Amino acid sequence: MRKITLITTGGTIEKTYDEHTGELANRRSLVRRMLSELRLEETEVEVFELMSKDSLEMTEADRVRILEAVRATGACEEGMTYGIVVLHGTDTLALTGRYLYENLEGPRVPVILTGAMR
C-alpha cells in the first residue's frame, strides 16, 4: 500500500463560487470530495487541511506553517510516506517552493507543490 500525504493550503483548486455574491473564494477544502471520485488502487491518501487561503494573502508565517506541516508528515523520515503533495495557489507557489528548498533539510521523499486553474 502506497501512502501519499496531501496538504491543502487553498488556491484556485479549492475555491468555490458564491452565486449570491458573485465571489470566488477559499471557504473550505474540497479535496476530500474530489478524492472520493478517483480510483486510487493500493494508494492511501492522507489529507491534512492546513489552511484555506488565496496564495496572494499568504504571509511568511504561513510558509513556516507549511514547512512545519511537511516536516510533521514525515518528509525527512525513512518509510513514513511515498510523497507529499502541497496544494497551493499559483501566484506565490514559487516563493513557498524556494522557502521549502532553503529550509527543509534532507527530504527523503518527493515534496511536490502544485497549483491549478479551473
Spatial strand order in the sheet of 83-87: 43-53, 2-10, 83-87, 111-114
Which residues does the annotation mark as catalytic?
12
Alpha helix ranges (H) inside the chain: 31-36, 60-72, 93-103
